[in-house]
Structure 1
Amino acid sequence: MNNSLKLSEDEQSDVMVPLELWHGEVDAQGYYLVGRLLGRRHFNFEALKTTLHNPSNLIRGLNICLIEGGRILFTFDHILDRKRVMDGGPWAFEKNLLILKPIDAYDKPARTDLN
């Protein structure tokens, strides 16, 4: 550790972090896609997640989760990752088309029209 480095008074200002951020209760801003497989009511979500999640092609991270109605929520940490996925389609899994639609943090993914 280098003891010769010192912070000025301006640099030592207090930073207030809301308590709910420490407990993970606030939804972090991300870049979202909601999707569903056309023609498939039941599918192996873990297989889909493994197939679609390729971190070598991402600038930052990606989270994939299954939500109500068999819909899939994709949360990207960088907008260019979401754009790359949208521009790279159409996408399919087990010979079934994956319909994707960009949404923002305030949209309800379960109510988004995916027809």
Structure 2
Amino acid sequence: MDSEEIVRRVNALKLSSSNKDGVVIISADLTSQGLQRLDSCLVGKVLSSKAVNRDTFRTHMPRILQAKKPVNIEVVGENTFLLDFHSVIDRRHVLMDGPWTFFKDLVVFKAPQGLQKPADLVFDEMPIWVQCYNIPIVFMQSTILRNIGSKIGQVLDIEAGDDGNCIGRFARVRVMLDITKPLKQGIWVQTEEKSEAVCIVLLYERLPNFCFSCGIIGHAQRNCDSKSNEGQSDKYGNWLRAQSSAGVRSPIV
């Protein structure tokens, strides 16, 4: 039985008044035990137009995630998997150190809360480091970069010194990116004194597959539903991928 059929049947049960009797009441103690299990679980969805083989995913994903201890993996939906970690450190690493890819397709991980089911989760964002180029020196400080980064996504971190200043050819800002929207290629910035606007150029570290037509992560150009760019040059391309990044990086399969 596929997930759509399960949802249809659940909805049919909800409409039937005969199913209101005999509700099973779960004690607070048992519910608490179940909620504790959530601390070891994540739900991951592979954003791909192709069906992902369960055995292939179970074999390769723990290595991709660099898990130090075993990870139990089961299918819970279309290209959606429940990962049960034997280590809270491994789980935290997966949540904090993305983005993650499976054969270059993005894998979005979510931590279920309360009575959420896998079908309730929305896989619409991912954490990512963004390199910001062409920034005036006076803007290379964490407070200003936080303002700039907020135009890309929710700011999670900024690479800066103890004094809050950034040094180098570019600044690095880590954001929670809304993957339902096209990738931003740049951001225009100017001072209150209405100085000449400066274009901050954006490059993305470990950027998964994305569409060169619409700029949205999660599908290739050949699978794009948008026909607005037919016969035109691509608005997006590999130039959005950062060529280098700092720190330890996970392997990309």
The structure with the largest alpha-carbon Rg is 2
Aligned to 1:82: 91
Output aligned runs, 1:63-102, within 5 Å.
Answer: 63-102=72-111
Contact 1:29 1:105 in 2 (8 A): no
- 1:95 partner amino acid: K
Residue 62 of structure 1 pairs with residue 71 of structure 2: yes
In the TM superposition, what whole-angstrom CA distance separates every residue of 1:7-39 from its partner, at most 9, and x where no partner exists?
xxxxxxxxxxxxxxxxxxx96825111111112
Contact 1:71 1:110 in 2 (8 A): no
Separation in 1, partners of 2:71, 2:82 = 10
Q: Specify every segment of 5 or more residues in structure 1 that has no aligned partner in the other structure, as ranges.
A: 1-25
State the Cα distance separating 1:96 from its structure 2 match.
Answer: 0.7
- 1:62 partner amino acid: V
Q: Specify every segment of 5 or more residues in structure 2 that has no aligned partner in the other structure, as ranges.
A: 1-32, 125-253
Cα gap change, 1:33 to 1:94, in 2 (>3 Å): same
Give the TM-score, by structure 2 length.
0.31
State the Cα distance separating 1:41 from its structure 2 match.
Answer: 4.1
State the Cα distance separating 1:51 from its structure 2 match.
Answer: 0.7
Residue 29 of structure 1 pairs with residue 37 of structure 2: yes
Cα gap change, 1:78 to 1:107, in 2 (>3 Å): farther
Residue 114 of structure 1 pairs with residue 123 of structure 2: yes
Contact 1:38 1:96 in 2 (8 A): yes
Separation in 2, partners of 1:105, 1:81 = 21
Aligned to 2:23: none
Separation in 1, partners of 2:67, 2:117 = 28
SS at match of 1:85: helix
> Stretches of 4+ moved more than 6 A in 1?
none
State the Cα distance separating 1:42 from its structure 2 match.
Answer: 0.5
Aligned to 1:48: 57
Separation in 2, partners of 1:57, 1:69 = 24
In the TM superposition, what whole-angstrom CA distance separates every residue of 1:63-101 from its partner, at most 9, and x where no partner exists?
111112331111113321100112231111122111111
Residue 39 of structure 1 pairs with residue 48 of structure 2: yes
| Equivalenced residues, count | 89
- 1:99 partner amino acid: V
- Percent of aligned pairs with the same amino acid: 26
Relative contact order higher in (CA < 8 Å, ≥ 6 apart): 1
Give the TM-score, by structure 1 length.
0.63
